[in-house]
Amino acid sequence: MNKFLIASEFIDFDHPTIFQKAMELSESANPTKPFDLIKRSFEFVRDEIKHSSDFKLNPVTCKASEVLSHGTGYCYAKSHLLAALLRANKIPTGLCYQRLSIAGDGSPYCLHGLNAVYLVDYGWYRIDARGNKPNVVADFTPPVEKLAFAVRPPHEYDIPEIFSEPLPMVIATLRKYYTYDEVLKNLPDIE
């Protein structure tokens, strides 16, 4: 479980602004409600950090501290921020991915980034702070998952692993391109 609790280059909760925000969320959480801190952190990232392509915002962010500083990020970057905020509060948090059809009807495909948080009563529980919009609604409703996107087999699928660090192709995309529209034209995928 330790690898889901540590700071890293992209989940940099040791950065002063991340740590400060994590402590603010912790202080405002209701201690009598066991999941309140997780829900507050999730809703902060989902609702207050704008999805880069939805809002046509630059710069392209990757590290949690960049996402918080600029207030924007793609789903991958938002998942880095949520992991950082929760790990700073000693809540085991990992990264998850779905492989989705870009147009909804087959090739081409892309990865979608989200999180898994360890809940004592339920085990690993996936949460998706991508950001809500018409026809895309995610929420924190344990033990039932309410993710932004439902996969449509056979070509779309949930990648079953929970990762402690972002996938290399995600980092490569977020580091290679400088504008939201460049990323949108080159979304990462996995075979």
Phi and psi angles of residue 123, each rounded to the nearest 5 degrees, phi first: 90, -150
Sign of CA dihedral 29, 31, 36, 38: positive
In-domain check, residue 130:
yes
| 142 CB-near residues (< 8 Å, 6+ apart) | 35, 119, 121, 122, 125
Share of the chain above pLDDT 70, in %: 100
The domain that holds 134 is classified in CATH as 3.10.620
Q: Let me know if residue 85 belongs to a domain.
A: yes
Element of type H or E holding 145 = strand 144-146
Report the chain's mean pLDDT, rounded to a whole number.
96
Tokens of 147: 């993710």
Q: Is residue 143 part of a domain?
A: yes
Residue 15 resides in a domain: yes
- Work out the pLDDT band at 5, boundaries 50, 70, 90: very high
Q: What's the rounded mean pLDDT across residues 99-119?
A: 94
Task: Find out whether the peptide bond into 160 is cis, omega within 30 degrees of 0.
Answer: no
How high is the pLDDT of residue 69? Answer: 98
Nearest to 160 by CA among 137, 135, 190: 190
pLDDT at 154: 87
**pLDDT grade for 147, boundaries at 50, 70 and 90:** very high
Overall domain count for the chain: 1
pLDDT digits (tens, 9 = 90+) for 58-104: 999 999 999 999 999 999 999 999 999 999 999 999 999 999 999 87
Is residue 51 domain-resident? yes
8 Å CB contact between 83 and 95: yes
Let me know if residue 190 belongs to a domain. Answer: no
Closest CA to 179 of 53, 76, 65, 63: 53
Asked if the model's pLDDT at residue 54 lies above 90, the reply is yes
Q: Hey, what are 129's tokens?
A: 């702070």
- The pLDDT-based confidence of 168 (bands split at 50, 70, 90) is very high
- Residue whose pair of structure tokens reads 């998706």 in the numeric block: 128
12-26 pLDDT, tens digit each:
999 999 999 999 999
- Name which of 96, 91, 51 is nearest 75 in CA terms: 51
Q: What is the pLDDT of residue 78?
A: 98
Element (H, E) at 158: strand 157-163
Question: Residue 122 sits in which domain range?
Answer: 2-180
What per-residue confidence (pLDDT) applies to 65? Answer: 98
Residue 104 lies in a domain: yes
In a domain, 186, yes or no: no
Res 191 pLDDT > 80: no
Q: Is the pTM of this model over 0.85?
A: yes
Contacts of 171 (CB under 8 A, 6+ apart): 10, 62
Q: How many residues does the chain have?
A: 191
Residue 118 pLDDT more than 90?
Answer: yes
